[in-house]
Structure 1
Amino acid sequence: MRQVLDTVWQRRGASWLWDEEARNTVCSAGEVWSLRQFLQAAVPSANGWPDDLPSNGGQTLVVAGLEGSLDLLAPDQGETWLGDTIKRAILSFQDGYGGEAALIFWMPQGQGRLRVQASTDAVYWLCDAPHRGQQLDFGRLLWGEANEYPQEIRLREGAKAAGLFHLRIT
């Protein structure tokens, strides 16, 4: 998988971040939105997206709660929810800001739960109890198997991956 060493993920695209140091570069804890707030803003009949985002000088929205929500769903329900509700909300965010803002899903357990298949760069979500051993085809559901596009976020050369970054979901 390709790597991104610059800070583009802090200003554009969608990211799934599990490294606390990386998260702290873009927001304070009080600026993080709940998944519920994010989904409510994505509803067309609601007030919509704010003019100024809460983090990183108005360029970034950090959302927590995706991994906990996935754990509450059976794998088939999780696939439907990711592919419909979450993807639709991501697309709404991208459209709302013309691709000029960053959406970051804070997933503190993501490093152990998002698995990248090295040979194909396919990304899978590993389910937890009571569905341990099953997985969701995370990449196919969110970016339609465009596996050449996601990149591992690295804070510096030689560091472990801090998350995954995708410039634009289509």
Structure 2
Amino acid sequence: MRQLQDTVWQRRGTSWVWDEEARNQVCAASEVWSLRQFLRTAGAPGVPRSWPDDLPSNGRRTLVVAGLDGSLDLLTPTDADLWLSDAIKPAILSFQDEYEGDAALVFWLPTGHSRIKVQASTDAVSWLCHAPHGYQLDFGRILWGEANEYPQEILMRPGGKPAGLFHLRIT
């Protein structure tokens, strides 16, 4: 998987971040939205979107959302797959459309370092859910259609451990 040392992830695209230092570079803890608030703002089919003119973080250019990890853990494998494709992906697309690619959406996943798995040979990305289900969710297939050449590992410093994953534009 390609690596990214640039700060573009702080201003554009969608990221899944598990490094606290990285998260602190884009927001204060009080600026983090709940997953519920994010989904409500994105609107549901037939419900209008209500995105704010100014985002809460990083000079009004970034939205950080927490709670995706806990929600995935509560669902069965089939329900998690459907929920990611039917609720989360459309909300990400709504965000991208609203800000025309000129804002960053960051999902804060504090345990992501041990739960996001990248298969070295294919760059396929999966999410390891905790008990009671304990399965691997095909994150990349669901969220970016297995366009595995596009996500990049976020590095905070040369030679450092990945702080998250960045994808410029989900389609």
> TM-score band (shorter)?
over 0.9
Judging changes above 3 Å, is the alpha-carbon distance between structure 1 residues 47 and 93 closer, same or farther for their aligned structure 2 residues? closer
After superposing on structure 2, the runs of 4+ consecutive aligned residues of structure 1 that deviate more than 2 Å are 44-47
Q: Tell me the equivalent position of 2:41.
A: 41
Mapped to 2, the partners of 1:71 and 1:46 lie a distance apart of 29
Aligned to 2:65: 63
Show structure 1 runs of 5+ residues with no match. Answer: none
What are the superposed Cα offsets for residues 117-147 of structure 1, whole Å, 9 maximum, x if unpaired?
0000000011110112x21100000000000
Residues in 2 aligned to 1:114 and 1:47: alpha-carbon distance in whole angstroms: 30
Give me the whole-angstrom Cα distance separating, in 2, the residues matched to 1:41 and 1:136.
Answer: 25
Match of 2:155 in 1: 154
Aligned match of 2:4:
4
Residue 137 (structure 1) aligns with = 138
Superposed counterparts of 1:91-170, under 5 Å? 91-132=93-134, 134-170=135-171
Residue type at the aligned position of 2:96: Q
Q: CA RMSD in A?
A: 0.8
Aligned residue in 2 for 1:26: 26
SS of corresponding position for 1:9: helix
**How much has 1:46 moved relative to structure 2?**
3.8
Task: Tell me, in whole angstroms, the C-alpha distance in 2 between the residues paired with 1:150 and 1:126.
Answer: 18
* Kept after mapping to 2: 8 A contact 1:40/1:46: no
TM-score by length of 2: 0.97
Distance 1:47 1:167, change over 3 A: closer
Q: How big is the shift at 1:47?
A: 5.1
Letter in 1 for 2:143: L
Residue 17 of structure 1 corresponds to 17
**May I ask how many residue pairs the two structures share in their alignment?**
169
Q: Distance in 1 between matches of 2:32 and 2:137?
A: 25
Which AA in structure 2 matches 1:24? N
Q: 1:80 is matched with which residue?
A: 82
CA change 1:65–1:25 in 2 (3 A) is same
